[in-house]
Structure 1
Amino acid sequence: MISILLVDDHAIVREGYRALLSKQPCMRVVAEAGDGTQAYQLFKEYEPDLVITDISLPSSSGLELIAKIKQRRADARILVFSMHQNPAFAEQAVHAGALGYVSKSSEPEVLLRAIHDVYSGRHVLSPDIAQILALEKLGSERIALQTLKVREFEILRLLMEGQSHDDIARVLNISAKTVGNCHYLIKSKLGVASDIELTKLAIKFNVLDPLELSRIVE
């Protein structure tokens, strides 16, 4: 049985949560709070398995509440259920210590699955938030690719063809050391830590054809 503390400043919203969760045989709402201060006191009193909280709360924000709870109990399981669909809110909630973030526009099944995931210690985002984050990341990666200079892009292309630093140095009439330095700079600019990640990014933006990769491997 998962014991849950509900935190939302709207009583009618909490009533809706409670009605939904009461139908689940493995979930039990043990306490409710309408603001951050009350929520923290109830958390200390009941020590619930999981906290479901909004971010916008009177007296103290949901982010402050998350941080205080995590300071008190590092293994606390916290799921944010909020009207805010801006992924920046989700990122801040995760930084504060929440394991999950679900928008209030999500279907009830999404919330219920998220409760199980967070209770199990897994990170989770509702599909709408995850999609926005993925699109933003894709956009930032494309912008990063555009910051490469002509020579850097050419070195990236040759690297993706499987050519060594020495091979590339001969092709471009530069030193192998320069190629090595550019190789490091390319990964830094694109925000990747390994050649495997670099290859995945090259495939994503058609710098490298997957069929070409299979021929290189062969």
Structure 2
Amino acid sequence: MENIQVLLVDDHEVVRAGYRRLFESTDDIQVVAEAIDGEGAYQLYVECRPTVVVMDLTMPGIGGLDASRRILSRDRNARILVFSVHENEVFLSRAMNLGILGYISKRNASRVMIEAVRRVARGEVFIGQEMMPHLLQCKQSADGERLAGLSPREFEVFRLRADGKSVNEIAKLLNVSPKTVGHHHTSVKQKLGAANSAELTRLAIRLGIIPP
């Protein structure tokens, strides 16, 4: 049986330890590296070239979506499985559009994780059953259509700004200049039809991108 090498990414040690034990119970899945954030995930992917990246979407810093974008920009054949507390069409749609192969919810992750990793390792798409109702919903709404027009970097700026991060904080997290963040923020407001940051925050809450 071919060994599946996993890069495990989550900012909580207890979560990583739980999945590590789960993988250790198999004969074919091995955790070869762990990261606590998206930046570390990208760097370790370059160093280790794992079979599958298993990554939380919501982490401090650039987050799972932007980390996936960076990894896939470097290696379009990268096989990424994400797990998330976000059971909504917005994050699922963004993940699929990036080329992420697997998406499962955190509440069911332990039950389906092994099957999901094996499927993604074979290059197959794996969407958790709990996510299937959301698969096509995003583009069926006006908000969803506007969100689809955001670039991956614009979406990350939108998420971080709505979550209360300042322009300077976002610039540091994304390793870009504050001027670049400001440009993206202006573009996001125009594309989403928001007059100010408060309206962006309300939209993000309504879509389940950040908690109320």
TM-score normalised by L of structure 1: 0.60
**Cα distance per residue 1:9-43 (max 9 Å; x no partner):** 11110111101011110000000000111111111
Deviation at 1:53, TM superposition (A): 0.6
- 8 Å CA contact 2:83–2:109 kept in 1: the answer is no
Unaligned segments of structure 2, at least 5 residues: 142-212
Residue in 1 that maps onto 2:37: 35
| Partner SS state of residue 65, structure 2 | helix
Which residue, out of 34, 53, 56, partners 2:55? 53
1:18 to 17, 20, 33: 20
Q: Displacement, 1:61?
A: 1.6
Q: Secondary structure at the match of 1:4?
A: strand
C-alpha distance in structure 1 between counterparts of 2:94 and 2:12, whole Å: 22
1:122 alignment partner, one of 118, 121, 124 = 124
Runs of 4+ in 1 over 4 A off after TM superposition: 134-139
Aligned CA RMSD, in angstroms, stands at 2.1
Partner residue, 1:178:
none
C-alpha separation in 1, matches of 2:140 and 2:71: 34
Q: What is the DSSP-based 3-state SS (H/G/I as helix, E as strand, rest coil) of the residue aligned with 2:135?
A: helix
Relative contact order (alpha carbons < 8 A, sep ≥ 6): 1 or 2 greater? 2
1:89 equivalent in structure 2:
91
Amino acid at match of 1:102: I
The Cα shift of 1:111 comes to: 1.5
Alpha-carbon separation, structure 2, partners of 1:41 and 1:50: 15
Shift of the alpha carbon at 1:136? Answer: 7.7
Give, in angstroms, the shift of residue 133 of structure 1.
3.2
What amino acid sits opposite 2:119 in the alignment?
Answer: D
In structure 1, C-alpha distance between the alignment counterparts of 2:62 and 2:139, rounded to whole Å: 31
Instruction: Give secondary structure in 2 for the equivalent of 1:105.
Output: helix
Mapping 1:40-189, distance limit 5 Å:
40-106=42-108, 108-133=110-135
Identical amino acids, percent of aligned pairs: 40
How much has 1:59 moved relative to structure 2? 1.8
- State the 1:92 CA deviation: 0.6
CA distance change for structure 1 residues 58 and 47 in 2, over 3 Å: closer, same or farther? same
Distance, in Å, in 1 between the alignment partners of 2:132 and 2:139 is: 10
Indicate the structure (1 or 2) with the bigger Cα radius of gyration: 1
SS at match of 2:61: coil
Structure 1 unmatched ranges of 5 or more: 140-218
Counterpart-to-counterpart distance in 1, 2:75 and 2:55: 16
Question: When the two structures are superposed, what TM-score results if normalisation uses the length of structure 2?
Answer: 0.61
Q: Deviations over 1:148-205 (max 9, x none)?
A: xxxxxxxxxxxxxxxxxxxxxxxxxxxxxxxxxxxxxxxxxxxxxxxxxxxxxxxxxx
* Cα deviation, residue 138, structure 1: 9.8
Of 3, 6, 12 in structure 2, the residue corresponding to residue 4 of structure 1 is: 6
Partner deviation per Cα, 1:74-107 (whole Å, 9 max, x = no partner): 1110000111111221111111221010001115
One-letter code aligned to 2:17: E
